[in-house]
Structure 1
Amino acid sequence: MTPATAPYGTWTSPIDARLVAAHDGHPEYVGTVGQEVWWTEPRPTEGGRRALMRLRPYGTGPAESVLPEPWNVRSRVIEYGGRPWAGAERADGGPLVVFVHHPDQRMYAFEPDHPGAAPRPLTPLSPVGEGLRWADPVVLPERGEVWCVLEEFTGPRPTDVRRVLAAVPLDGSAADDRARVRELTDGADRFVTGPRFSPDGRRVAWLAWDHPRMPWDGTVVRLADVTDAGTLTDARAVVGGPDESIAQVGWGADGALLYAGDASGWWNLYRLDVDAAGAGGGSTNLCPRPEEFGGPLWKIGHQWFEPLENGLVAVLHGLGSPRLGILDPRTGELADTPGPWTEWAPTLASAGTRVIGIAAGPHRDYEVVELDTCTGHTLVVGAEHTDPVDPAHFPEPEARVFHGPDGREIHARLYPPRNPAHRAPDGELPPYVVWAHGGPTGRAALVLDLEIAYFTSRGIGVVEVDYGGSAGYGRAYRERLRGQWGVVDVEDCAAVARTLAEEGTADPARLAIRGGSAGGWTTAVSLTSPLTEGLYACGTISYPILDLEGWATGETHDFESQYLVSLVGRLEEHPDRYRDRSPLHHADRVTVPFLLLQGLDDVICPPAQCDRFLAAVAGRGVPHAYLAFEGESHGFRKAETITRAVEAELALYARVFGFDRPDVPPLELAE
């Protein structure tokens, strides 16, 4: 079929916003219970809940959701959450599984093979602040307990909170009695991860850090002995510190401690003989490379390596996008897994010689993948990708390196317009939208994203920018943003946009920028900064930070409440910096249309900041729209919300870039 000639932005596409919403999110938190594989999976059309999936062994059937609506398996520890479930195999009665239910944040026990069994609560509710929350559990049937992270609010403010390792009885006796929860640590550390038991069960290790550091700034590995009575003794820090980030800790089959640390400037995998450590023994880098074998710990329980029974270690590693490899710690040899996957999520599990992870690629959504380390064969075992439309409508992405001020490198992913049924008129350049990722200590993944395809299949290009400060490229790249948030990120996005225009890839008159959370901040600053004056024709700002001073003085959650110390500087030392960079105080500089999207239940970037910004913009003659969504928090999970947001963004571009889109409702812009 000969493609029809039509202007960029007007192309028809089978990828509609409802399809985008139905495929939003991806599986997380894979684990094994005996030979079974379990994970959580999004359900946008079921109110945005997370389903708990079970795959029985040996090809006995497809994966099944073990809990019906409205059960929602998601933890709110540190607000971004953490591993919300764990299970244990039993000789009789099938598996025992515990999970956190999102609406009440209680932990429940469930025996899926007991006929008529329903989840039973293990933990109590609390009337104080945001209550009690749990994450990163380990089920110990022999002790009759679950060991996990307890986050407990002690007052009404978001920073009135403490975190400890705790033991919860499996008999349900703590369901109405907080005193039945045993605290295993003293709460001296502001943040902790869940316990990791040594192979003999006599020791546990975990990560800890304190304000004002974030976990990618500096963490320590704490080690303690486990007594017969189930208490911890001789807790001590064995590695890490304020200037070394440990992303994960675990144990090798030989009883040595393994951890992913960045003492070399890269998160590499290390081995520590804990018995020799006190006698002058040090850590050994098992595979020294200028690559990342870890990542930013945004969720408690993220995992970049998995020790295997035979002494090998499954690792995620790479520059930018991680891939799965099998490392021999004795020789340092590393063999990568074949297959079409270019991106592996930070979650791994194993059962014998099998390694299970969650992976995606430029033409595949995230799916649950199993590797047989004996044969090297891989198999998709869950959430298998199927093309919802002809894949010719998907973009062909390109990883590129741009250059910013002083010649610094900027990593980005370019998604040009692509549609088999259309071509643009000769000489026309496409509009492009710069996507700024969240975090800002985050990264854009080079994977199939139907939201990107929604725009590229209509003739609108997308470029995702891993601006300075992004993870995946070593500590020095991450620390470019130290004290420079609102400068380096804005400059790098602008440098990419300008280069695309100068080289003739993008129409310089039809450039836009968009982002959510920290990306919303970068977008808003880009619309108010002299560094980008006249560059962007419009912007889409989602659940953003707009007022640094407000965010630093109680308008966010505890986890990020001192993040700005590293990103901007201490407020008491740099008050002008906080004011000068905040979009709230430069609303008079906004001259182009924008769309503002916000969840009304967001406690990370609260809607109060949007309210103040809109009040400052009102009456200045700048066309804008504000869509606020009930029941949505930080990031949108409901299908109807995602559909409305995607269509509104396209409607903004249609209006600003001057093309007609009858397939979406027009966007009413106020001034």
Structure 2
Amino acid sequence: MIPVTAPYGTWESPIDARLVAAHDGRPEYVGAVGQEVWWTEPRPTEDGRRTLMRLRPDATGPAESVLPAPWNVRNRVIEYGGRPWAGAERAAGGPLIVFTHHADQRLHALEPDAPGAVPRPLTPLSPVGGGLRWADPVVLPGRGEVWCVLEESTGPAPTDVRRVLAAVPLDGSAAEDRTRVRELTDGTDRFVTGPRLSPDGRHVAWLAWDHPRMPWDGTVVRLADVTAEGALEAVRPVAGGTGESVAQAGWSADGSLLFTGDLGGWWNLRRIAPDLLAPGVPREAAAGTGLCPRQEEFGGPLWKIGHQWFEPLENGLVAVLHGVGAQRLGILDPATGELADAPGPWTEWTPTLAAAGTRVVGVAAGPHRGHEVVELDTCTGHALVVGAGHTDPVDPAYYPDPRARVVRGPGGREIHAHLHPPRNPAHRAPDGELPPYVVWAHGGPTGRAPLVLDLEIAYFTSRGIGVVEVNYGGSTGYGRAYRERLREQWGVVDVEDCAAVARALADEGTADPARLAIRGGSAGGWTTAVSLTSPLTEGLYACGTILYPVLDLEDWAAGGTHDFESQYLVSLVGSPREHPERYRDRSPLRHADRVTVPFLLLQGLDDAICPPAQCERFLAAVAGRGVPHAYLAFEGEGHGFRRAGTIARAVEAELSLYSRVFGFDRPDVPRLELDG
């Protein structure tokens, strides 16, 4: 193929918006039911629902979906959701599965091997506020119950909510009777994760934290004894605290309690021996032994209840996710501290693991392959794809060839970034032309952009538009000190770091300094909006794409968001009582008059995290100022887009914005009409 010379941005690509939408999302929440492997999987073309997949150990064919549309295996606990399913093996009749259905938020039971099996509800509806929500279940057939997190609205406000551990009868007797739900804890803690029972069933552990801390600030591991009647007694803290974040707790086969804490500045795996778990043992004596102390992360931010970074095996070994930046799968021998990594092309593993005998299953991806369900045989060291296998819908030569970069920011601080240069085998740019680049700011902000194949990025790079993802100060994966650079500096450090990366690419001749843009969703939408209104970045960006953003800190602090993040700003910005000026000075809504470049604003109308009211007030403040802009709001979409039609429309609108601002023609997408 002889490449055709054409300006950046005009290249033709087989990666269209429909293809991007069809590949949106990834498998989540793997689990083992006996020797079977189960997980959830996205269906963008089916109104964005998630189905439940089953892989039988003796199957000759692919995994099968056990729930047809419209069943949607997802919940809204802390709005971001939590583990939505669990299962148990039974001596007869096949497995018993329990899951949450997004439409009604109820727990349902399913016996997939029963003739004519259909889900049956286990929990009631509630007319109060957001109702009853359930997450992170554990099925206990011997007790006839499922233990899980219950989130219950107590009033009309988003913060009118309580959370407890609860036991739900498996016989369905609570489906119409809330009183049949047995509460295991008293609601003292504002937030809890699901219960983790010890191998002998005599103890249960869970994580807890309270406002204003987020789980990556400080969490406590609570331990309780389980009575013969299934009550919890002698509840006590055994690890963690206000200055230590514990990301996960669980049990090894010998009855030791394992947990990942960051007391040393990195999430590392520790163990408390069984004899140190008895009531009355001083916490100092039971502080835990480090199993593999390293300046690496063996945990991460607990954005969804039920995330897992380690999984104990029956033989005493522990499957762990670990690394600096990217996390890979390793098998740890707690006795020696030796750690052996899984082979294969996967460089990024997501926080979900399951063990079935000597097999470990997780979800992994790499720079040139999407997320797939991968199984590692710990006896042979062989790894293979068992579900959601990656296939290239187009020639991989149209994918970007990404690479990690470290850029120096203000004060010489390191900023981690992923560079995705334009790439297309059928085209080359004219000599001397520099490509436009879009800076992508990830959400969170306590999160991280992984270096994996993303067809949405490839959509732009294959057309001659470069993308650089910035893991700005505050991102996870680089230790607690890097994460806490953003403490009380949100709207400053993130903005400075994205700008430093953009300027570095322009200064070194990688990007066209006249054609730089910034985009992001959620917290990344905030960073984008601040970047378009801040003196720190004046004249840097030619335009921006803002997706479901935070735009008004004062509104957020006054109850304008959901309970989980309602006091997140205390750590990100500072106390609103002590520093009200920060809330005014940093909010894009207060400085809409500083916007001078075109922008695209994308919003879901059902968003409970970043409600559309903030967008509407921002647009009203911009109106009449002569700034070209467009606003696309989508019915039925919440925080993050899930439906194929929405995703395709948003991608095409973003490309149209860049074509108009950067000065190239894109007749293959609808022209974005700009107001102002």
* Alpha-carbon distance between aligned partners in 2 of 1:640 and 1:276, rounded to the nearest angstrom: 55
- 1:660 corresponds to which of 640, 658, 665: 665
1:58: Cα distance to partner? 2.6
Aligned residue in 2 for 1:212: 212
Counterpart for residue 510 of structure 1: 515
How much has 1:59 moved relative to structure 2?
3.5
Partner of 1:487: 492
Rounded to whole Å, the distance in 2 between the matches of 1:293 and 1:580 is: 37
**What is the rounded CA distance, in whole Å, between the counterparts of 1:546 and 1:496 in structure 2?**
23
Amino acid at match of 1:84: P
2:648 corresponds to: 643
2:430 is aligned with what amino acid?
Answer: P
> What secondary structure does 1:385 align onto?
coil
**1:145-181: CA deviation from partner (whole Å, max 9, x where unpaired):** 0000000000000000000000000000000000000
**Alpha-carbon distance in 2 for matches of 1:135, 1:114:** 25
- Within 5 Å, give how 1:259-658 maps onto structure 2: 259-276=259-276, 278=281, 280-658=285-663
> What is the alpha-carbon distance in structure 1 between the residues aligned to residue 316 and residue 576 of structure 2?
48
Contact 2:20 2:456 in 1 (8 A): yes
The AA in structure 1 aligned to 2:479 is G
Does structure 1 residue 67 correspond to structure 2 residue 42?
no
What secondary structure sits across from 2:81 in the alignment?
coil
Q: For 1:62 and 1:593, how far apart are their aligned partners in 2?
A: 47
Give 1:37's aligned amino acid. V
Amino acid at match of 1:233: E
- Give the aligned partner of residue 49 of structure 2: 49
Shift of 1:282: 3.1
1:274 Cα deviation from its structure 2 partner: 4.5
Aligned-pair CA distance for 1:255: 0.7
Q: Within 2, Cα distance between the matches of 1:174 and 1:552?
A: 37
SS of the residue aligned with 1:491?
A: helix
Q: Deviations over 1:295-344 (max 9, x none)?
A: 00000000000000000000000000100000000110000011000100
Whether the 8 Å CA contact 1:303–1:348 is kept in 2: the answer is yes
SS in 1 for 2:468: strand
Cα distance per residue 1:462-496 (max 9 Å; x no partner): 00000000000000000000000000000000000
Task: Letter of the 2:353 partner, please give it.
Answer: L
State whether structure 2 residue 257 is matched by structure 1 residue 252: no
Aligned to 2:98: 98
Per the alignment, residue 29 of structure 2 pairs with: 29
Distance 2:37 2:412 in 1: 47
Query: 1:61 offset after TM fit, Å?
Result: 2.3
User: Given residue 92 of structure 1, which amino acid in structure 2 is its aligned partner?
Assistant: A
The letter of the residue matching 2:216 is W
Deviations 1:605-658 (A, max 9, x none): 000000000000000000000000000000000000000000000000000000
On the 8 A contact 2:368/2:452 being kept in 1, the answer is yes
Q: Which residue of 2 aligns with 1:152?
A: 152
Cα distance in structure 2, aligned partners of 1:211 and 1:539: 33
Output one character per residue of 1:525-548: Cα deviation in whole Å (capped at 9) or x when no partner. 000000000000000000000000
What is the distance in 2 between the residues matched to 1:186 and 1:151?
A: 13
Aligned residue in 2 for 1:125: 125
Q: Whole-Å Cα distance in 2 between the matches of residues 387 and 22 of structure 1?
A: 13
Instruction: Give, as a single letter, the amino acid of the residue that structure 1 aligns with 2:161.
Output: V
Percent identity among equivalent residues?
Answer: 84
User: Counterpart amino acid of 1:484?
Assistant: Q
Are positions 1:4 and 2:4 aligned together? yes
Aligned equivalents of 2:158 and 2:425: distance in 1? 51
Could you tell me how far 1:398 is from its partner in structure 2? Answer: 0.4
Aligned twin of 2:77? 77
Q: Quote the offset at 1:81 in angstroms.
A: 0.2
Q: Distance in 2 between matches of 1:100 and 1:549?
A: 34
Q: 1:28-77: CA deviations, max 9, x gaps?
A: 00001111100000000000000100011133321011010000000100
Instruction: Give the letter for the 2:445 counterpart.
Output: P
Q: Aligned partners of 1:667, 1:546: CA distance in 2, in Å?
A: 23
Tell me which amino acid in the other structure corresponds to 1:57. P
- Say if 1:260 and 1:293, in contact at 8 Å, map to a contact too: yes
Show the counterpart of 2:239: 239
Q: Per the alignment, in what secondary structure is the counterpart of residue 667 of structure 2? A: coil
Counterpart contact for 2:409–2:500, Cα < 8 Å: yes
Deviation at 1:395, TM superposition (A): 0.4
1: distance between equivalents of 2:12 and 2:115?
50
Q: CA RMSD for the aligned pairs?
A: 0.6
Q: CA deviation at 1:410?
A: 0.3
Moved over 4 A (4+): none
8 Å CA contact 2:239, 2:287 repeated in 1: no
Alpha-carbon distance in structure 2 between the residues aligned to 1:35 and 1:188: 38
**2:72·2:101 contact (CA, 8 Å) conserved in 1?**
yes
* Offset of residue 222 of structure 1: 0.2
Equivalences, count: 671
Q: State TM-score, norm by structure 2.
A: 0.99
- CA contact under 8 A between 1:98 and 1:110: conserved in structure 2? yes
The 5 Å alignment of 1:189-208 reads: 189-208=189-208
Cα distance in 2 for partners of 1:274, 1:140 equals 23
In structure 2, stretches of 5+ residues that fail to align are none
CA distance in 1, matches of 2:586, 2:525: 14
Local SS of the residue matching 1:109: strand
Listed one character per residue, the Cα deviations across residues 62-100 of structure 1 (whole Å, up to 9, x for unaligned) are: 101101000000010000000000000111100000000
Preserved CA contact (<8 Å) 2:238 2:286: no
- Cα deviation code 1:413-439 (max 9, x no counterpart): 000000000000000000000000000
Q: Secondary structure at the match of 1:666?
A: coil
Q: What is the letter of the counterpart of residue 512 of structure 2?
A: D
Partner of 1:572, secondary structure, is: coil
- Following superposition, the deviation at residue 275 of structure 1 comes to 2.5
Q: Secondary structure at the match of 2:13?
A: coil
TM-score (norm 1): 1.00
CA distance in 2, matches of 1:609, 1:164: 32
Paired with 1:180 and 1:377, the residues of 2 have a C-alpha distance of 47
Which amino acid counterpart does residue 315 of structure 1 have in structure 2?
V
- Judge conservation of contact 1:218–1:242 (CA < 8 Å) in 2: yes
Per-residue deviation at 1:117? 1.5
3-state DSSP class of the match of 2:448? coil
Given that residues 273 and 282 in structure 1 are in contact (C-alpha distance below 8 angstroms), is that contact kept between their aligned partners in structure 2? no
Asked whether the equivalents of residues 396 and 415 of structure 1 are also in contact (C-alpha less than 8 Å), the reply is: yes
Q: Distance in 1 between matches of 2:61 and 2:513?
A: 53
CA distance in 2, matches of 1:483, 1:126: 38
**Partner AA of 1:564 in structure 2:** L
* 1:309 alignment partner, SS class: coil
CA distance, structure 2, for counterparts of residue 72 and residue 284 of structure 1 = 41
